[in-house]
Chains A and B, each alone.
Chain A
Amino acid sequence: MIDHDVLIIGSGASGGMTARELTRRGIKCLMLDAGPAVDFDRDRGTKKVYELPYRGFGQPGRFPHVTQANEFNANVWADEKQNPYTYDPSSPYYWVRVRLVGGKTLVWGRASWRLSDFEFKGKDHDGFGDNWPISYKDLAPYYDRAEPLLRVAGRKEGFRQIPDGIFLEDNSTDSESVQRFLAAAKSKNVPTTKARRATGSLASSVNLLLPDALATGNLQIVSNAVVREITTDKNTGLADGAHFIDRRNKREFHVKARVVVVGASALESSRLLLNSGLANSSGVLGHYVFDQFYVKNVVTCIVPEARGGQPRRGLMGGGGYIPRFRNLDTKEKNFIRGYAYDFGSGGSPAPQYFPLYGEALQKELAATSGAQFSMTTMGEVLPRYENHVSIDKNVKDEWGIPALHIQHKYTDNEFAMAKDSMQTAEELCHAAGFEVLAKHWEMVPPGESIHELGSCRMGANPKTSVLNQYNQTHDIKNLFVVDGSAFVSGGSQNPTLTISALAIRASEYMAEQMRQGTI
């Protein structure tokens, strides 16, 4: 039997970061991932859309819950038939998964914002929910390390709600349409900044994290390893490894390790713990599921001067970000917490927005080509006990592993926020002199933002949380969960940067505990 120091389940942002941090300290790690590794030369190529079997529409019914899937990228997403899950039909949940080495870092949007004490100490601010067991200053040094690794670029602004960090300064100039929008926002005391994003042609665990870990000689990665259960030592109760199944031929294996780290992504990690019957003395494992609600294209506008089909140089292009501005120093009547926007200039409005057809539609599409300005809302979803995942014993995946049942609903707080975001976006665009072509406040279904969080939250009290402040389970000291399932609340900031920073912090603690021999 081969023993390993640390078994890491999952290879995305959290698993990759953990592997990088542990292996550079001389710790021998084995990483299991449920999917194959991408060979970018072999697995990608160019095709013309009419060469595809479904002319770009995609195979009907193949991905009922993955709106991001198209016929070009369909093979990236986890197959929904092989990987089923259930929900109450009245509360659909769109669980979007990637089962490849590198996980969702192969496809993420790269937005990289820090959380602040408006999130870490949210309860202190407005009385709702629970504080994290850490504050911003506890995590700040780890954000400082994560940002350069992810090559984050942005602009320092001094905003309390999205603290500045160590990033490449973005000094690019804004287009005229964006400048007008920024001025309109400023006149209404709405903050704006440049996007903060991981840069490079690929910004994934597979090129930024795993190569460093492999270079130490201390990391072994096994692909196509679908983990069924974490195992424990009968005498000590400690985690001692995992059973896994080869994805391709269903051959079964067991691997032993001194420490087990789960970074399989939020919900998937909780599914594994629930199926293993571990780390749930609190009874809250699987509970407090949340994400960030999205109102995609909350407003779609036309920049009037760009009409005609060929906007003049410098008028269009670029974009930016509006961080949370509600409920910081004032209190809204209808909701707590807040929302952010992405905005972008350029591109062409979709035909669906025009109540026209035939020649009239073609003329309008030609006239508005390149003249679009649009905004998308990303709002905080309150973590609630009743939003939870559990094991559906009646449904199993391709490998015979019981599937997840997901129960998640948005509530009045989110709906009120979404409506407010539509009104505000419309006001800003009007103030900038844009024509509002379409507006709405309807959120995409829960899960579709691919920012699922919680279900294995951290906390100081073992009776109300699964993990301590170092992502270590309260129940089993050599079992850690390092992905987004550890979040207590999520704000409106994209979570990957925080997941990465938490994984570095947890790894540092883990390595020290291993050195001391306490785990």
Chain B
Amino acid sequence: MKRRTVLHSLLAVPSVALLPSEAIAQEPAPETPKTATDVADAASDPFIKTFNPAQFAALRKLGEIVMPASQGVPGALEAGAAEFLDFLIGVSPPDRVALYKTGLDQLNKDAHRRYTKPFGDLTAEQAEPILAPLHAAWSYRPPADPFAKFLLAAKSDLLTATANSREYIAVVSQRRRSGSGVGQYWYPIE
């Protein structure tokens, strides 16, 4: 199309200002559509990058034991808590990464020593003596023993990662109003 033809065709389209007022009144107010999107967890599998396969298997088992599915409510496994923590810990300060890696290695080491198999292959009953530090009374200060410190941190993180998951909230929000997972969010303020 030649430039002059384009100009003619553009000029041929009447602008809104030139339309009779009746025509404007008949037009519905234009609305910008909101496009429905979902979170990545809903449709894809994350890469496991922080923990090695043995460490990750131990974390998944720990999640299954600490926060099991119950009465139709998803547990850590169904919520992908270990998968999320692989990401979260991977972007955390180095001391947090070290706490987790050392702690997960210790879980496997203890499991091998007691049962000659990795922690990920244990039953909850078999894991009980290894997880004994989780039965210590609460104290404000974290325990001096790094393994106990890891277990308490992992317990807390696995519970939170589960309770804040899409899967958990989808079920719990149907049962109680306080379980909607909705909060007031502040966008970056300019």
Chain B residue, CB-CB nearest to A357: B66
Looking at the complex, which of A52-60, A189-197, A311-319, A371-379 is the stretch in contact with chain B?
Answer: A52-60
The reply on A88 being an interface residue by CB < 8 A is no
The reply on B82 being an interface residue by CB < 8 A is no
Q: How far is the CB of A222 from chain B (nearest CB, A)?
A: 15
Chain A residue, CB-CB nearest to B62: A357
The reply on A42 being an interface residue by CB < 8 A is yes
Chain B 121-146 residues near chain A, CB threshold 8 A: 124, 131, 134-141
Which residues of the partner chain B approach A36 to less than 8 Å between Cβ atoms? 189-190
Bound Cα distance from A446 to B161, whole angstroms: 30
Looking at the complex, which of A4-12, A69-77, A120-128 is the stretch in contact with chain B?
Answer: A69-77
* B91, B155, B186 — most chain A CB neighbours (10 Å): B186
Which residues of the partner chain A approach B152 to less than 8 Å between Cβ atoms? 352
Looking at the complex, which of B5-13, B21-29, B52-60, B162-170 is the stretch in contact with chain A?
Answer: B162-170
Question: Are A46 and B160 in contact, with the CB atoms below 8 A?
Answer: no
Bound Cα distance from A38 to B184, whole angstroms: 15
Which residues of the partner chain B approach A54 to less than 8 Å between Cβ atoms? 88
Which residues of the partner chain B approach A49 to less than 8 Å between Cβ atoms? 164, 169, 181-183
Interface string of B146-190 (1 = CB under 8 A from A): 000000100111011100111001000000000011111111111
The reply on A212 being an interface residue by CB < 8 A is no
The reply on A333 being an interface residue by CB < 8 A is no
Which residues of the partner chain B approach A359 to less than 8 Å between Cβ atoms? 68, 70
Question: Are A358 and B88 in contact, with the CB atoms below 8 A?
Answer: no
Chain B 68-125 residues near chain A, CB threshold 8 A: 68, 70, 84, 88, 91-93, 96, 124
The reply on B19 being an interface residue by CB < 8 A is no
The reply on A65 being an interface residue by CB < 8 A is no
Size category of the binding interface on chain B: 35 or more
Question: Are B134 and A355 in contact, with the CB atoms below 8 A?
Answer: yes
Question: Are B134 and A357 in contact, with the CB atoms below 8 A?
Answer: yes
Also in contact, A38 and B156, with CB within 8 A (given A355-B138, A357-B134): no
Question: Are A44 and B184 in contact, with the CB atoms below 8 A?
Answer: yes
The reply on B39 being an interface residue by CB < 8 A is yes
Also in contact, A72 and B183, with CB within 8 A (given A55-B84, A60-B92, A355-B135): yes
Quick one: which of A43, A45, A352 contacts B189, CB cutoff 8 A?
A43
Count, chain A residues at interface, CB 8 A: 42
Bound Cα distance from A73 to B188, whole angstroms: 10
Bound Cα distance from A425 to B180, whole angstroms: 34
Bound Cα distance from A139 to B189, whole angstroms: 37
Q: How far is the CB of A297 from chain B (nearest CB, A)?
A: 9
Bound Cα distance from A50 to B81, whole angstroms: 12
The reply on A351 being an interface residue by CB < 8 A is yes
* A44, A49, A59 — most chain B CB neighbours (10 Å): A49
The reply on A51 being an interface residue by CB < 8 A is yes
Chain B residue, CB-CB nearest to A351: B159
The reply on A356 being an interface residue by CB < 8 A is yes
Question: Are A358 and B65 in contact, with the CB atoms below 8 A?
Answer: yes
Chain A residue, CB-CB nearest to B173: A48
Question: Are B65 and A46 in contact, with the CB atoms below 8 A?
Answer: no
Quick one: which of B161, B189, B190 contacts A55, CB cutoff 8 A?
B161
Chain A 321-361 residues near chain B, CB threshold 8 A: 351-359, 361
Bound Cα distance from A46 to B160, whole angstroms: 20
Bound Cα distance from A42 to B185, whole angstroms: 11
Q: How far is the CB of B128 from chain A (nearest CB, A)?
A: 10
Also in contact, A72 and B186, with CB within 8 A (given A48-B181, A61-B92, A359-B68): yes
Question: Are B136 and A355 in contact, with the CB atoms below 8 A?
Answer: yes
Interface string of A29-46 (1 = CB under 8 A from B): 000000110110011111
Which residues of the partner chain A approach B157 to less than 8 Å between Cβ atoms? 57
Also in contact, A357 and B70, with CB within 8 A (given A72-B183, A75-B189): no
* B131, B139, B141, B187 — most chain A CB neighbours (10 Å): B187
Q: How far is the CB of B147 from chain A (nearest CB, A)?
A: 15
Chain A residue, CB-CB nearest to B152: A352
Bound Cα distance from A371 to B30, whole angstroms: 51
Question: Are B181 and A50 in contact, with the CB atoms below 8 A?
Answer: yes
Chain A residue, CB-CB nearest to B137: A355
Bound Cα distance from A198 to B160, whole angstroms: 33
Quick one: which of B96, B131, B166 contacts A50, CB cutoff 8 A?
B166
Question: Are B96 and A60 in contact, with the CB atoms below 8 A?
Answer: yes
The reply on A100 being an interface residue by CB < 8 A is yes
Q: How far is the CB of B76 from chain A (nearest CB, A)?
A: 10
Which residues of the partner chain A approach B84 to less than 8 Å between Cβ atoms? 55
The 6 A-B pairs with the shortest beta carbon distances in the complex, nearest first, are A440-B140, A60-B92, A47-B185, A56-B164, A50-B166, A72-B183
Interface residues of A, Cβ cutoff 8 Å to B: 35-36, 38-39, 42-52, 54-57, 59-61, 72-76, 100, 351-359, 361-362, 438, 440, 442
Question: Given A48-B183, A357-B155, 18 more contacts at CB 8 Å?
Answer: A43-B186, A44-B186, A44-B187, A46-B182, A49-B169, A55-B84, A55-B88, A55-B165, A57-B88, A61-B92, A72-B183, A72-B184, A75-B187, A357-B65, A358-B66, A358-B67, A359-B70, A438-B138
8 pairs from A and B in contact (CB 8 Å cutoff): A48-B169, A48-B182, A49-B169, A52-B185, A75-B188, A75-B189, A357-B134, A362-B67
